Structure 1
Amino acid sequence: MELISSDKRNQLFERFAHDAFHLELRDDYSVPNEVGPFEDWLNGRESDDSFMAPWLQLMKRVTESGKTVRRVRVVTEPHSPYIQWEHATTNVNEEAGELIRWLPRHKLPAGLHFPVDGNDWWLFDDKLLAVGHFDDGGRVLGSEIIDAPEIVAECIRVRDLLWSIATPTNEYQL
């Protein structure tokens, strides 16, 4: 399996035509550039969002051009500190144009099977997947690109189901 870097994956946002969708299934995405802001938030200090500037600029450019970027975050309740921080700071993603919904893990439909071994994924224009892979410590290893029609179709089905039952950020209470 060949993995591409997060930077290469982000280049896919420059090429998609209509819709990008991210399914998030992890309760912690702590990555090195988030450690300081997350610790500030945990300690009641105002956190600096500047580490997100490149992503937010990309999202703003993409969404202002008429494209849609959506996420469903499947989360465990009670929420991990990371998910609490993510919820508290989601406004900056939404201000950049992302549409984000939340779904408690215990409200998942019975028998739901997650494609691609239960990994997170980005789906671009219902044609291309960038499947996230992580090591045992939660560190991002990279993304696997998949365009197999049967796998993409299963991800479309899961996306449509979860989007329809997930709760928008402004209505989701921690």
Structure 2
Amino acid sequence: MKLISSAERNRLFGSFAQDAFHLELRDDYSVPDEDGPFADWLRGVVDNSYMEPWTSMIRRVTDQGKTVRRVRVVTEPHSPYVQWEYATTPVNQDAGEDIRWLPRHDLPPGLDFPVDGNDWWLFDDRILAVGHFDETGRVLGSELIEDSDVVAECVRVRDLLWASAVAHREYKP
């Protein structure tokens, strides 16, 4: 399996035509770029400037009329990391992302997540960037998948979860 870096995955944001969707299934992410800002937040210091490259990219694509959406499937009560995500979600929204929350206990019964239960980005219902992590939770990279059966299953799961999830402004952890 060939993995691409997060920077290579982000290049897909320059080429998708209509919709990018992210499914998040983890209660903690060990992303090196976030280590310092997360530690600061835990100490009560809020500085979201580290998000600027991401929000600039999202603003650029949403200003073109494209959609960027994500569903965060979370355990309640929230881990400290998910609490931080919740606190920073308005920054993502201001850039144009539409974010919804789905408590893990509200998942449809019997739902099997495709691609071995990994997180993924789905671009234009045609290409997946599936996240892979090491045993400590560090991001290893993304696997690109264009197999129509796998993509179709992810589209089905996306639509099911999007309809079930709660908009950020209405979600009260």
Aligning the two structures, in what range does the TM-score lie when normalised by the shorter sequence? over 0.9
1:143 is aligned with what amino acid? S
Q: Does 1:39 align with 2:57?
A: no
Q: Does 1:105 align with 2:104?
A: yes
**Structure 1 residue ranges without an equivalent (≥5):** none
CA offsets, 1:18-54, max 9 Å, x none? 0000000000113122122111211222x21111111
Aligned residue pair count: 173
**TM-score when scaled to structure 2?**
0.98
Q: Which residue of 2 aligns with 1:119?
A: 118
Return the alpha-carbon distance in structure 2 between the equivalents of residues 130 and 103 of structure 1: 21
Residue 161 of structure 1: SS of its match in structure 2?
helix
Matched, 1:86 2:85: yes
Matching residue of 2:128: 129
Partner amino acid for 1:120?
A: D
In structure 1, how many angstroms separate the alpha carbons of the residues matched to 2:10 and 2:38?
Answer: 23
Counterpart of 1:29, as a letter, is: Y
Verify the 8 A CA contact 2:30 2:139 in the aligned structure 1: no
Q: What's the offset of the Cα at 1:74?
A: 0.1
Q: Unmatched 5+ residue regions in structure 2?
A: none
- Identity of matched residues, %: 71
Distance 1:105 1:126 in 2: 24
CA distance in 2, matches of 1:173, 1:144: 33
* Counterpart position of 1:141: 140
What TM-score results when the alignment is normalised by the length of structure 1? 0.98
Supply the distance in 2 between the matched residues of 1:117 and 1:93 (Cα, whole angstroms).
27
* Aligned Cα root-mean-square deviation (Å): 0.7
